[in-house]
């Protein structure tokens, strides 16, 4: 009788301990889920503040078909060697899809690493006033290694402009007075909102491609956007 009582007490104790362990486990799982939901909430509330629409390219310099449904937005830096490398692929894309894409250029000079990138961007925008953005754009990339090493390249930029037949007086005034700083800052603001970390960063409609050095990747993204919209 006594043995029975002690064994049932033991069993009861075991059951209580088991129940306590189960309750504890549930509490921990519940707490874990709370933490998980809190993290999800924080991540999504921060990520949702990104109102940038690259499909409306405004007055940015562009090449290709202005009415194309596939917009290739390139955030680039004239002093960045990788951007120079990506230019070959951009030209190839335009040659392969002349009517199907619109290539839009956005400035994203990484001044911390490239001291003359901002000035080069300004020069290109000054040339844009005379409809000469793309010729100077090409020349700046072609001669990147020359002007990048110069201690004051604005003289070189003025020389390039003259070489392209750009009227010297308005171009020089524009460059010397830094008239295009706000245009560049606006592009940079858009790039920041898009959380650009490195250049070049290319958006094919909304698809982000970093680096742009793989032509198959770019081509595949363009093809998929064309198929999606046809």
Partner 1 sequence: MISQNKKTAYFSFIIFSRLLLGGMFMVSGMEKLLYPPEEFIVVLKSYHLLPEPLLRPFALFFPWIEVLFGTFLVIGLFYKISLLMVGGLLLLFTLAIGSTLVRGIPLEDCGCFKSLGFKESGGTAVFRNIILLLFWVNLYFYPDHRWTVDRWLKEKT
Using a 10 angstrom Cβ sphere, with 0-12 exposed, 13-18 middle and 19 or more buried, the burial of residue 144 is buried
- 105 neighbors 140 (Cβ within 8 angstroms): no
Among 8, 10, 43, 168, binds partner 1 (CB under 8 A): 43
Q: Which residue, 22 or 177, has its beta carbon nearer to partner 1?
A: 22
Using a 10 angstrom Cβ sphere, with 0-12 exposed, 13-18 middle and 19 or more buried, the burial of residue 17 is exposed
By CB under 8 A, is residue 33 in contact with partner 1?
no
By CB under 8 A, is residue 229 in contact with partner 1?
no
3-state class of 101 per DSSP? Answer: strand
Structure tokens at 129: 């006033």
- 147 neighbors 140 (Cβ within 8 angstroms): yes
By CB under 8 A, is residue 206 in contact with partner 1?
no
By CB under 8 A, is residue 193 in contact with partner 1?
no
DSSP-assigned letter for residue 143? T
Q: How far is the CB of 201 from partner 1 (least distance, A)?
A: 8
Q: How far is the CB of 47 from partner 1 (least distance, A)?
A: 7
Among 11, 13, 18, 23, binds partner 1 (CB under 8 A): 23
Site residues for partner 1 per CB under 8 A: 20, 23-24, 27-28, 31-32, 35-36, 39, 43, 46-47, 195, 197-198, 208-211
């Amino acid at each position: 009788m006594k043995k029975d009582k002690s064994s049932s007490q033991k069993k009861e104790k075991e059951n209580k301990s088991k129940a306590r362990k189960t309750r504890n486990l549930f509490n921990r799982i519940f707490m874990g889920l709370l933490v998980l939901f809190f993290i999800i909430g924080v991540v999504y509330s921060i990520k949702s503040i990104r109102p940038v629409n690259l499909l409306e390219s405004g007055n940015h310099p562009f090449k290709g078909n202005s009415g194309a449904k596939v917009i290739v937005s390139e955030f680039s830096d004239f002093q960045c060697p990788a951007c120079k490398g990506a230019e070959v692929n951009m030209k190839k894309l335009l040659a392969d899809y002349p009517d199907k894409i619109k290539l839009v250029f956005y400035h994203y000079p990484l001044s911390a690493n490239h001291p003359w990138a901002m000035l080069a961007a300004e020069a290109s925008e000054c040339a844009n006033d005379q409809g000469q953005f793309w010729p100077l754009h090409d020349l700046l990339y072609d001669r990147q290694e020359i002007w990048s090493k110069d201690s004051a390249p604005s003289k070189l930029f003025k020389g390039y402009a003259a070489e392209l037949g750009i009227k010297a007086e308005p171009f020089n005034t524009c460059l010397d007075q830094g008239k295009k700083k706000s245009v560049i800052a606006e592009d940079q603001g858009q790039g920041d909102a898009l959380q650009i970390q490195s250049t070049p960063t290319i958006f094919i409609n909304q698809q982000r491609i970093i680096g742009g050095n793989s032509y198959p990747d770019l081509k595949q993204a363009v093809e998929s956007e064309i198929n999606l919209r046809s």
